[in-house]
Amino acid sequence: MHDPYSDRMSGSETRAAGGLALVFAFRMLGMFMVLPVLATYGQDLAGATPALIGLAIGAYGLTQAVLQIPFGIISDRIGRLPVIYIGLLIFAAGSVLAANGDSIWGVIAGRVLQGAGAISAAVMALLSDLTREQHRTKAMAAIGMSIGLSFAVAMVVGPLLTRAFGLSGLFWVTAAMAIVGILIIAFIVPRADVRLQHRESGVAKQALGATLRNGQLLRLDFGILALHAVLMSSFVALPLALVERAGLPKEEHWWVYLTALLIGFFAMVPFIIYAEKKRKMKRVLLGAISVLLICELFFWLFGSSLTALVVGTVVFFTAFNLLEASMPSLISKVSPAGGKGTAMGVYSTSQFLGAAVGGILGGWFYQHGGLATVFIGCAVLCAIWLAFAVTMREPPYVTSLRLPLSPDAAADAGLAERLLAVPGVADAMVVVEEAAAYVKVDTEQLDRTSLERLVDPAPRRAEA
């Protein structure tokens, strides 16, 4: 039996984190691979118009946004695995429907059904069930990295697969990935002994009202909505700009995205480090939004050559990657103790809603005003976001912790007040039903000894 306080992840925890990260990656890969190709290859579908192609690009976000939180709540009642299996089967069915669709409406219906397999919350809850407190952040970071990596891979692999097998073949590959995800859950991911009610990784209905009234969180929710709306609208316009303005055949677009993503990934790293180390996250956020705004204006005014479009795309993805990577950290910092899971649920819903809005508006703008109107629309949305972001406060530089309580500590009615008195503790909440305390701490000021003594007054084990 492994030591419950070991600093190393156990074999089952490693399998859980790796397996669930792969499930996430395969599913998101299937979602993202159509982005760089649907605007160009979708024109060959019966009944296709730019507005309907935009709807097909963003359609998955509609059902994903509506069903994500309900699926998470259902998984608390009937179990994680049934929800995940059902969600992956729905996703596979949507992919098959899109693969067999010979009109744009068939692809739209498939994308809507793909989004209905909204398993994100259930997967994160299962990860919490399968990992110990001290390793949960690492395990969740692995899933975050898998999502980022799947997006990068999708931008390159999507055009290559479509060139080889057509749009229908791309959706068949997506369906196969969903089946592989089911096999990973069945044969690699361990079974959970307990089902945790965990406020750091799941939505707590009691915290929903306070989350929706929190102005700082709402600014970030609008931000991620705007970011993904701009991304989807840009992917209605950029592939078409590469063909119409730069004369680059659609079969060759993969190298543009590969170049942009590779340079963009490495270019964002110094800014992430600066934001965290120097505690200047607001400054970096405002800078990245401003760069995104400038990119859209650049595409509008100067994006008429291949060189200009490639340079603009590289800078665009640098800003996009920086925002995509840093905003979940801001949600974690700004959310109250015990409210991180709920805040992330609303944030993710906003993200998918943004994807839907962006695809729909991007297609509509292109149909009625051409490429210039899409880029101007994106620039206006970035400007509105910047105006909201300027008014946000510098976030507190704190880390969220969930501390299991000893029976004596859980019975202590004044524990929350005593936790708040510990140097470095910015916020605290005790949930008696979970026998757990949620605290927000500044790690540079925290008195760890005092904190540990409060949550477990008796020594946990003899010192060597």
Torsion, Cα of 105, 107, 108, 111 (10° steps): 160
Rounded to 5°, angle at Cα 173 from 172 and 177: 115
- What pLDDT shows up at residue 457? 66
Distance CA 280, CA 41 (A): 43
426: part of which helix (H) or strand (E)? Answer: strand 425-431
- The dihedrals phi and psi of 425, each to the nearest 5 degrees, come to -90, 120
**Domain boundaries defined on the chain:** 13-390, 399-455
Which amino acid, one-letter code, is at 269? V
**CATH code reported for the domain at 399-455:** 3.30.70.100
1 CB-contact burial (10 Å; exposed 0-12 / middle 13-18 / buried 19+): exposed
Domain range 13-390, CATH architecture: Up-down Bundle (1.20)
SS3 188: coil
**pLDDT tens per residue, range 343-371:** 888 999 999 999 999 999 999 999 999 99
Cβ atoms of 229 and 358 within 8 Å: the answer is yes
Distance CA 123, CA 130 (A): 11
The overall average pLDDT reported for the chain is 88
Distance CA 330, CA 327 (A): 5
**pLDDT tens per residue, range 405-454:** 877 777 778 888 888 888 888 888 888 887 888 888 888 888 888 888 88
Distance CA 218, CA 100 (A): 40
Strand partners, 430: 437
DSSP state of 46: B
Helix/strand/coil percentages in the chain, nearest 5: 75, 5, 20
Q: How many CA atoms lie within 13 A of 300 on its CB side?
A: 17
402 CB-contact burial (10 Å; exposed 0-12 / middle 13-18 / buried 19+): buried
Distance CA 279, CA 282 (A): 9
Instruction: Give residues with Cβ within 8 angstroms of 149, minimum separation 6.
Output: 25
13-390 and 399-455 in the same fold = no
Distance CA 189, CA 192 (A): 9
Picking from 104, 147, 112, 177, the residue whose alpha carbon sits closest to that of residue 321 is 147
Place of tokens 């259930």: 122
Distance CA 177, CA 186 (A): 14
Distance CA 222, CA 227 (A): 9
SS3 403: strand
Angle between helices 306-334 and 340-390 in degrees, nearest 10: 130
Segments of the chain with pLDDT less than 50: 1-5, 459-464
Rounded to 5°, angle at Cα 141 from 432 and 208: 40
SS3 204: coil
Picking from 375, 288, 270, the residue whose alpha carbon sits closest to that of residue 324 is 288
User: Edge to edge, what strands does the sheet with 399-404 contain?
Assistant: 399-404, 436-441, 425-431
Encoded tokens for 210: 């306070």
Record the pTM: 0.89
Encoded tokens for 446: 């925290």
- What pLDDT shows up at residue 462? 33
